[in-house]
Chains A and B, each alone.
Chain A
Amino acid sequence: MAKIVGGINVTHVPYIGRAIANNLQQDPYWKPFFDGFPPVRQWLAKVKPDIAVVIYNDHGLNFFLDKMPTFAIGAAPEYSNADEGWGIPTLPPYQGDVDLSWHMIDSLIEEEFDIVTCQEMLVDHAFTIPLELFWPDQHPCPVRTVPICVNTVQFPLPTAARCFKFGQAIGRTIESWDSDARVVVIGTGGLSHQLDGQRAGFINKEFDLMFMEKLISDPLWVTRYSIPDLVELTGTQGVELLNWLTARGALLGEVAKVHANYHVPISNTASGLLCMEAV
Chain B
Amino acid sequence: MNTSKQKRVIPGTTMFDGEQARKGYALNKMCFSFNSAENRAEYLEDKEAYCDKYGLNEQQKKAALSLQVLDMLAAGGNAYYLAKLGGIFGLDMQDVGAQQTGMTKEAFKAKLVEAGK
Chain B's nearest CB lies how many Å from the CB of A197?
A: 5
B13 contact set on A, CB distance < 8 A:
194, 196-197, 199, 231-232, 236
Q: Is the CB of A156 within 8 A of B17?
A: yes
Q: Is the CB of A199 within 8 A of B10?
A: yes
Given contacts A83-B37, A85-B84, 14 further A-B contacts (CB under 8 A): A15-B93, A60-B35, A60-B78, A85-B34, A85-B83, A86-B84, A154-B78, A196-B100, A199-B10, A199-B11, A201-B108, A202-B12, A231-B13, A267-B93
Q: Is the CB of A155 within 8 A of B35?
A: no
**Which B residues, 25 to 81, have Cβ-Cβ distances below 8 Å to chain A?**
25, 28-29, 31-32, 34-37, 40, 69-70, 73, 78-81
Instruction: Choose among A82, A84, A201, A270 the residue that contacts B97 (Cβ–Cβ < 8 A).
Output: A201
**Which A residues, 185 to 214, have Cβ-Cβ distances below 8 Å to chain B?**
194-203, 205
**Which B residues, 87 to 108, have Cβ-Cβ distances below 8 Å to chain A?**
87-88, 92-94, 96-97, 100-101, 108
A-B contact pairs, 28 of them (CB 8 A): A60-B31, A64-B28, A64-B32, A86-B83, A86-B84, A153-B16, A154-B21, A155-B16, A155-B17, A195-B83, A195-B96, A196-B13, A197-B12, A197-B100, A198-B12, A198-B101, A200-B96, A200-B100, A205-B116, A228-B8, A231-B13, A231-B15, A236-B14, A236-B79, A264-B116, A265-B116, A267-B93, A268-B94
Instruction: Choose among A154, A156, A198 the residue that contacts B11 (Cβ–Cβ < 8 A).
Output: A198
Question: Measured between alpha carbons, how far is A271 from B107 in the docked complex, in Å?
Answer: 20
Is A237 among interface residues, defined by CB-CB distance under 8 A?
A: yes
Taking residues whose C-beta sits less than 8 angstroms from the other chain, chain B's interface range is 35 or more
Given A65-B25, A268-B93, decide whether A196 and B14 contact each other with a Cβ distance below 8 A: yes
Report which A residues bind B (CB closer than 8 A). 15, 59-61, 64-66, 82-87, 153-156, 194-203, 205, 228, 231-232, 236-237, 263-265, 267-268, 270
Question: Measured between alpha carbons, how far is A60 from B33 in the docked complex, in Å?
Answer: 10
Question: Measured between alpha carbons, how far is A59 from B25 in the docked complex, in Å?
Answer: 15
Q: Is the CB of A65 within 8 A of B21?
A: yes
A60 contact set on B, CB distance < 8 A:
31-32, 35, 78, 80-81, 84
Q: Is the CB of A264 within 8 A of B115?
A: yes
Instruction: Choose among B10, B35, B81 the residue that contacts A83 (Cβ–Cβ < 8 A).
Output: B35
A156 contact set on B, CB distance < 8 A:
17-18
Q: Is the CB of B101 within 8 A of A201?
A: yes
Q: Is the CB of A267 within 8 A of B94?
A: yes
For A60, A82, A203, A270, which residue has the most chain B Cβ atoms within 10 angstroms? A60
Chain A's nearest CB lies how many Å from the CB of B58?
A: 21
Q: Is the CB of B97 within 8 A of A268?
A: yes
Q: Which residue of A lies closest to B36 (CB)?
A: A83
Question: Measured between alpha carbons, how far is A278 from B59 in the docked complex, in Å?
Answer: 53
A232 contact set on B, CB distance < 8 A:
8, 10, 13
The 6 closest A-B CB pairs, nearest first, are A264-B116, A199-B12, A198-B12, A85-B84, A203-B115, A265-B112
Q: Which residue of A lies closest to B77 (CB)?
A: A196
Instruction: Choose among A196, A202, A203, A265 the residue that contacts B73 (Cβ–Cβ < 8 A).
Output: A196
A199 contact set on B, CB distance < 8 A:
10-13
Chain A's nearest CB lies how many Å from the CB of B109?
A: 8
For A15, A83, A205, which residue has the most chain B Cβ atoms within 10 angstroms? A83
Question: Measured between alpha carbons, how far is A205 from B11 in the docked complex, in Å?
Answer: 19
Instruction: Choose among A64, A86, A87, A228 the residue that contacts B15 (Cβ–Cβ < 8 A).
Output: A228
B113 contact set on A, CB distance < 8 A:
264-265
Chain A's nearest CB lies how many Å from the CB of B31?
A: 8
